[in-house]
A and B are shown apart, each in its own frame.
Chain A
């Protein structure tokens, strides 16, 4: 099932939760909506599910207007951050709920329902918990049951709202991989919301980065990381060094000093230079367009992270860079720095 969202606007009072959002999701995709809190990602998900209604705009499922139908008629599986399991029902009854409330004509026989629930509990590998109540399960188990419950109705689309947000780091990691392999198995068009970039980049086929009710970039995980379209995306995904620069006549200046990099078509005027921490080439003093003294070095795993105070900039600018372990950095040492890969975005007014 494909999803198409057109010109969605949703306001809460004077706050624009969604500001003219367009999005197309292909059949069988596993898409992540990534953004900080308040970026509108959950609102967009809830509108697709029919739990919220846009002020204007359209939503189509396979070309058919979804806004004509309420949540209960859309056949959309929804997984909540806090599980939202029915606590007065056993795990079995929770999963069976969607099958039991089907209209009489469509409803499966009791035997068929039992078989289907069994099948789903097997799929989420929790068949041994069928007779328990939700309060007796761990967070990770509850979320898998919530997923089984959503899948029971054979949804055309699966929507997950911060599905792993309430879980601890280890369980979250396990469930991420599990979700991806589950998606490969059942192949239903899925969208999940997260504020965790690692989660989005690791699980999704495509990532939609949102901020302040707008879509900043849509792309593969590699794309949004390597070729961020906007300053926001560069700053939000991955760690970035941000330096205020001035672009004039194709030259880039930092604190009046010309840097040995090209403006790449950035508009003249105040701008920000974005460099990934590991994209700073380190050389002997005087070797790059930037120079700084190492103030502090920490090593962990294969990298060393150094705090470097840039020379020649007004005030004191300290940046953090990551360098491989083979080039030992010492506190107090003066080094030359040259951005290997970088992006320049006009400074916000």
Chain B
């Protein structure tokens, strides 16, 4: 009888879950990131700028982001091929291949790094024949790229796979009955329906590659300016007790990663408004 009756939501627990969500995200993500930013304030602006624009930092960032981008592109294309084969065809060992896709997820990165290094070392199974062709993989940027491709592929496969599974075969039949050849069907009907999922997979593979440390450092050779990735540079600075330097590089990586993820997210939104789910 007093005042407005309390509105009851049909879904209980909003207050509780929202509170927990905010607390959890703050403790796990926001506070550490804030600490990172705060630490950089130990530096003056010139110092910060000096560290960030030093040749070694710039090269490390270029290697990290450039190779990650390339690896994500390769993963996108090859991931799509893998998804297509796994979803569309029935062949012996399909389930096995499907399970293999998850290995890079599950494998400790150091193990992956050691395995790849062994394989591509100058006397390794793949390294030796490649060396004869004059291609050096281990301890060069090519090695970094291969490690990044390795750890990124499940992201594309696992994000696109459910969407392709869900895609009705009837729309392909409809396209065919309207006179479309396979090329038209794939590029005008199937791929456009998959774009949002492809963008997500690409972004995840890219983000993972940028952040990858364990598997890359074994195969990279870690030559400053040539094959030294940004996360490694951060670790080196930390081991030299130059914490501010380390955080300065970290902040730049963070911002760059954030901008890229944001851009992909916008793209994805845009694609999704064009392809509403059912």
A residues sitting closer than 8 Å to B (CB atoms) are: 49-51, 70-78, 80, 82, 84-88, 97-98, 101-102, 133, 135-136, 146, 149-150, 152-153
Contacts of B275 in A (CB 8 A): 87-88
Q: Mark B75-99, 1 if CB is under 8 A from A, else 0.
A: 0000000000000000000000000
Q: Say whether B276 faces chain A, with CB atoms less than 8 Å apart.
A: yes
Which residues of B233-278 have CB atoms within 8 Å of chain A's CB atoms? 274-278
Contacts of A153 in B (CB 8 A): 178-179
Complex CA distance for A135 and B275, rounded to whole angstroms: 9
CB distance from B74 to the nearest CB of A (A): 25
Contacts of A146 in B (CB 8 A): 174
Contacts of B189 in A (CB 8 A): 86
Q: Is the CB of B278 within 8 A of A101?
A: no
Q: Is the CB of B179 within 8 A of A87?
A: no
**Contact check: which of B177, B192, B276 meets A135 at CB < 8 Å?**
B276
Q: Is the CB of B177 within 8 A of A150?
A: yes
Q: Is the CB of B170 within 8 A of A84?
A: yes
Interface of B is mostly: helix
Q: Is the CB of A97 within 8 A of B188?
A: yes
Most interface-central of A77, A84, A133 (chain B CB within 10 A): A84
Q: Say whether B173 faces chain A, with CB atoms less than 8 Å apart.
A: yes
Complex CA distance for A87 and B276, rounded to whole angstroms: 7
Chain A residue with Cβ nearest B276: A135
Which residues of B167-186 have CB atoms within 8 Å of chain A's CB atoms? 168, 170-171, 173-181, 184
Shortest Cβ-Cβ A-B pairs, 8 listed: A98-B178, A84-B170, A78-B177, A88-B275, A84-B174, A101-B180, A71-B176, A135-B276
Contacts of B184 in A (CB 8 A): 101
Interchain pairs with CB closer than 8 A, number? 79
CB distance from B17 to the nearest CB of A (A): 29
User: Given A87-B276, A135-B278, A72–B168 Cβ distance below 8 Å?
Assistant: no
Q: Say whether B122 faces chain A, with CB atoms less than 8 Å apart.
A: no
Q: Say whether B109 faces chain A, with CB atoms less than 8 Å apart.
A: no
Contacts of A85 in B (CB 8 A): 171, 174
Contacts of A133 in B (CB 8 A): 274, 276
Q: Is the CB of A88 within 8 A of B177?
A: no
Q: Say whether B117 faces chain A, with CB atoms less than 8 Å apart.
A: no
Instruction: Please name 25 pairs of A and B residues whose Cβ atoms are closer than 8 Å in the assembled complex, sorted by A.
Output: A71-B173, A72-B181, A74-B177, A75-B179, A78-B174, A78-B177, A80-B170, A82-B168, A82-B170, A84-B170, A86-B174, A87-B275, A88-B274, A88-B275, A98-B178, A98-B180, A101-B181, A101-B184, A135-B276, A136-B276, A146-B174, A149-B174, A150-B178, A152-B178, A153-B178
Contacts of B181 in A (CB 8 A): 72, 101
Contacts of A97 in B (CB 8 A): 175, 178, 180, 188
Chain A residue with Cβ nearest B271: A88
Q: Is the CB of A76 within 8 A of B278?
A: no
CB distance from B155 to the nearest CB of A (A): 23
Contacts of B179 in A (CB 8 A): 72-73, 75, 98, 101-102, 153
User: Given A87-B193, A87-B278, A135-B278, A72–B180 Cβ distance below 8 Å?
Assistant: yes
Chain A residue with Cβ nearest B273: A133
Complex CA distance for A246 and B177, rounded to whole angstroms: 52
Contacts of B188 in A (CB 8 A): 97, 101
CB distance from B99 to the nearest CB of A (A): 28
Complex CA distance for A194 and B181, rounded to whole angstroms: 29
CB distance from A126 to the nearest CB of B (A): 18
Chain B residue with Cβ nearest A49: B177
CB distance from A61 to the nearest CB of B (A): 14
CB distance from A9 to the nearest CB of B (A): 22
Complex CA distance for A146 and B188, rounded to whole angstroms: 17
Contacts of A101 in B (CB 8 A): 175, 178-181, 184, 188
